[in-house]
């Protein structure tokens, strides 16, 4: 009996047992022993995701070694009606790479596709296969005196195919843009098995629809990205990094504007952190210390970089500091004088993420609003959440230079479980506010499973209709990553209530 027999018997696969058996045998021939994982112990790591919020089921993981193998596997799956769940480093935060628990599927891992196909330092381009780990790509660029600027917490294990499929952001978007803006071309295997090669080394290409953008950020629902041509930049040779203390959120935006104006747009990062964030990072993360003598309501981590050999960035930073003091935008600050100090500043920012676990349950909203609306958004969101629970501990931090706020809530001290039970009310309050300010309910993490119900509520009916039409044209059998991103129209969209179970699972991590 093959692993899919019960599903065939129950009519959940639109193919006969003989057809599925034949397809599986052929898939095994295509990927060989090295690409075929069917033992429960081997499959286990592919069933859950990084936060442990979702657990799926599959009977088979295939690991093709080339685009040709991906193409042949997908064509065989399409013929037999088998669903395909593409998976990269499996570090996503929205459950997009988890196989469904209730429908027969094959997980297609890109992890064996790790070749660097071409590097052209003079053209500032690098072409890599989807399974290349982000940190390895950064290292390859560096060996050629170049920078690949995509940088995020999971870079040691996330894969570029997943970064593109989720249009990853991170800490340098302000200067270089997100994954979408760093991509010149993609190679994609379509749900019928055909290969679409758009790996062009061009900055200018006005030949009709820019198809690569359909697949970037589509979370594997429209095609499997198997390779990409990426943009490289001159490697920075000097940095200047500072932490400033600020009296208010309005001052944060004033400092951002001042710094952009005064630094010839050399800013690479502009991250804001509230006092509560610094406190918990110092409490729970080893090596994190208060950066300044006196506590301050808000902090900004500001970094500039340049590839110019003789630039004195610290002098520029001192100029920003002086002007901001003069304007009362900052009350104190410190500029890193050593690489060790620079690392210590970044450790505070990274520690904020890590430290939340130590404070009990939390709810997390990755949202964006126009940069100038960040202060009013954060103030109103804190107010709205305190109306729901007076002692909730808000933690708003993140990439303020991009208008991207990680608006998180930590349970009140001594919480009896009410906090998580109220999750739906918090989410509605935060997302309603985001929507009223023309913001986005998912700034950089994507939709996956976590936010698909919310997407159905907050994206316009016309946009949702266009998305569904694109999906149905490219994947008429609904084989690729089913039930991710888009909900089926018949399940409708209900704001409160419908999403509660997902929110609670989200909150449990
Ligand atoms: Zn982030």
Q: Which of 59-68, 226-235, 490-499 has the lowest mean pLDDT?
A: 490-499
Strands laid side by side in the 83-87 sheet: 36-37, 60-62, 105-109, 83-87
pLDDT tens profile 417-432? 999 999 999 999 999 9
pLDDT of 497 strictly over 60? no
Same domain, 31 and 136: no
The predicted-structure confidence for 234-280, as pLDDT tens digits, reads as follows 999 999 999 999 999 999 999 999 999 999 889 999 999 999 999 99
Q: Is 80 found in the same domain as 42?
A: yes
Residue owning tokens 């084989």: 479
Same-domain check for residues 138 and 189: yes
Q: Domain of 166: which CATH number? A: 3.30.465.10
Each residue of 96-145: pLDDT tens digit? 999 998 778 999 999 999 999 999 999 999 999 999 999 999 999 999 99
Residue 212 shares a structural domain with residue 284: no
**Looking at the structure, do residues 276 and 335 belong to the same domain, yes or no?**
yes
Residue that finishes a domain, picked among 109, 129, 159: 109
- Print the domain residue range for 88: 5-109
Output the CA 27–ligand 1 centroid distance in Å.
38
Q: Is residue 413 part of a domain?
A: no
Residues 269 and 351 reside in one and the same domain: yes
- Cα-to-centroid distance, 444 and ligand 1 (Å): 7
Q: Which two tokens stand for residue 35?
A: 């690409």
Q: Which of 291, 323, 357 is the last residue of a domain?
A: 357
Residue 168 C-alpha to ligand 1 middle, in angstroms? 9
pTM of the model: 0.91
The DSSP line for 153-202 is TTTTT-BHHHHHHTT--BTTHHHH--GGGGEEEEEEE-TTS-EEE-----
Q: How far is the CA of 153 from the centre of ligand 1 (A)?
A: 8
Do 286 and 184 share a structural domain? no
Ligand 1 centre and the CA of 106: distance in Å?
30
Give the up-direction half-sphere exposure of residue 432: CA atoms within 13 A in the CB hemisphere. Answer: 12
Residue 229 shares a structural domain with residue 243: no
CA 266/CA 15 separation, integer angstroms = 58
CA distance 396 to 272: 8
Neighbours of 222 (CB within 10 A): 24
* 339 and 249 share one domain: yes
Rounded to a whole number of angstroms, the CA Rg of the chain reads: 24
Q: What is the CATH number for 275?
A: 3.30.70.2190
Domain shared by 102 and 64, yes or no: yes
What tokens were used for 382? 């804190």
- Distance (angstroms) between ligand 1 centre and the Cα of 171 equals 7
Q: Quote the ligand 1 centre to 423 CA distance (angstroms).
A: 21
Looking at the structure, tell me whether residues 195 and 295 fall in a common domain: no
Residue 496 has pLDDT above 70, yes or no: no
In this prediction, residue 9 carries a pLDDT of: 75
206 and 250 co-located in one domain = no
Could you give the number of structural domains in the chain?
3
For residue 54, report the distance from its CA to the centre of ligand 1, in Å: 21
| Last residue within a domain, chosen from 234, 251, 285 | 234
CATH of the domain at 28: 3.30.43.10
pLDDT at 502: 43
């Amino acid at each position: 009996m093959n692993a899919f027999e019960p599903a065939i018997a129950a009519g959940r696969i639109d193919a006969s047992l003989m057809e599925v058996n034949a397809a599986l045998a052929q898939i095994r021939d295509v990927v060989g022993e090295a690409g075929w994982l069917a033992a429960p112990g081997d499959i286990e790591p592919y069933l859950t995701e990084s936060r442990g919020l979702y657990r799926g089921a599959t009977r088979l993981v295939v690991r093709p070694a080339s685009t040709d193998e991906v193409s042949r596997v997908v064509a065989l799956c399409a013929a037999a009606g088998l669903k395909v769940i593409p998976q990269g480093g499996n570090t996503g935060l929205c459950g997009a790479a988890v196989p469904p628990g209730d429908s027969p599927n094959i997980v297609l891992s890109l992890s064996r596709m790790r070749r660097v196909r071409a590097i052209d330092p003079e053209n500032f381009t690098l072409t890599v296969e989807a399974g290349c780990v982000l940190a390895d790509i950064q290292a390859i660029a560096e060996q050629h005196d170049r920078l690949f600027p995509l940088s995020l917490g999971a870079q040691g294990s996330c894969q570029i195919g997943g970064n593109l499929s989720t249009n990853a952001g991170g800490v340098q978007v302000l200067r270089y843009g997100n994954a979408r803006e760093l991509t010149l071309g993609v190679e994609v295997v379509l749900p019928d098995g055909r290969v679409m090669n758009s790996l062009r080394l061009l900055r200018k290409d006005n030949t009709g629809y820019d198809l690569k953008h359909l697949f970037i950020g589509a979370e594997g629902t429209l095609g499997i990205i198997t390779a990409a041509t990426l943009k490289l930049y001159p490697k920075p040779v000097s940095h200047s990094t500072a932490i400033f203390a600020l009296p208010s959120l309005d001052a944060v935006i004033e400092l951002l504007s001042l710094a952009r104006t005064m630094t010839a747009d050399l800013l690479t990062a502009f991250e804001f952190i509230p006092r509560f964030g610094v406190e918990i990072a110092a409490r729970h993360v080893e090596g994190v210390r208060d950066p300044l003598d006196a506590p301050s309501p808000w902090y900004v981590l500001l970094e500039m970089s340049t590839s110019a050999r003789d630039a004195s960035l610290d002098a520029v930073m001192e100029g920003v500091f002086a002007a901001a003091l003069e304007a009362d935008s900052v009350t104190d600050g410190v500029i890193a004088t050593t690489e060790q100090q620079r690392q210590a500043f970044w450790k505070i920012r990274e520690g904020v993420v890590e430290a939340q676990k130590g404070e009990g349950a939390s709810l997390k909203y990755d949202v964006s609003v126009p940069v100038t609306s960040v202060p009013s958004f954060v103030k109103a969101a804190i107010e709205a959440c305190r109306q729901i629970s007076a002692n909730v501990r808000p933690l708003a931090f993140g990439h303020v230079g991009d208008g991207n706020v990680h608006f998180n809530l930590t349970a009140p001290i001594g919480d009896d479980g009410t906090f998580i039970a109220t999750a739906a009310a918090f989410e509605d309050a935060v997302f309603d506010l985001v929507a009223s300010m023309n913001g986005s309910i998912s700034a950089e993490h994507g939709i996956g499973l976590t936010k698909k119900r919310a997407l159905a509520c907050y994206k316009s009916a016309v946009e949702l209709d266009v998305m569904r039409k694109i999906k149905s044209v490219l994947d008429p059998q609904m084989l690729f990553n089913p039930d991710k991103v888009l909900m089926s129209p018949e399940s409708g969209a209900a704001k409160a209530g419908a999403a509660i179970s997902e929110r609670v699972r989200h909150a449990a991590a």
